[in-house]
Amino acid sequence: MRDKKGVDTLTDQQFLEAIQAGDERTFEQLFRQQYAPLCQYGFSFLKDWDDSEEVVQAMFLAFWEKRESLVITTSLKSYLYRAVHNRCLNRIKHLSVQAEYQSSVQAERLDIWENPAQELIASELDIQLQRAIGRLPEQCRLIFMMSRFEELKYQEIADQLELSIKTVENQIGKALRILRTELADYLPLLLLLGIHVYD
């Protein structure tokens, strides 16, 4: 249908059916309508605009990729806001875990490294590790951190992210392959610090 200004307006069901059928124009319309307010909503949690945009973009990507199997029992708007809400809470939790992890690594380094040269190596290792993790694809990085730093089981990760266990296993395997390649020169030191990049 069209509103008084002649702009196409669709019901939630029409939006969903069109998107599930692979209609990219309808998906783009939904994206344009909801992107800014969803980013603002995410910002109310994260207090960082870049993080908010990343969360909303990842949510829309997952929405499109899972479009054929989506079952929405609330309004489409409520579904999108709930999805962003959950991703923001996960992001906050992961940032907290990462901060705790970095603190623990620094504490362990005080016990392991005994001279300035060794401390420099440890600092470089920490930088390279964070860079390598940061370069992982968004979903891959999220799943890896939930598994390695939060020590969640694959089923728990799958349940939280609404993914299959097979997808979680594949993403963990992908993360480990990338990290082993990027950190090949640092593997002995990673093992020394108790950071495992092998299954």
45: helix, coil or strand?
helix
Pick left, alpha or beta for residue 136 (phi over 0 → left; psi -120 to 50 → alpha; otherwise beta): beta
CA-to-CA distance for 28 and 60, rounded, in angstroms? Answer: 10
Domains in the chain and their CATH numbers?
A: 1-100 (1.10.1740.10), 113-199 (1.10.10.10)
pTM over 0.85: no
Sequence letter at residue 14? Q
> pLDDT in tens for each of the 199 residues of the chain?
434 433 356 788 888 899 999 999 999 999 999 999 999 999 988 888 888 998 999 999 999 999 988 888 888 988 999 999 988 888 888 776 655 555 555 555 555 445 554 555 556 677 777 788 888 888 888 888 888 777 788 888 888 888 888 988 898 888 888 887 877 766 665 555 455 554 5
Sequence letter at residue 29? Q
Cα 80–Cα 175–Cα 66 angle in degrees, nearest 5: 30
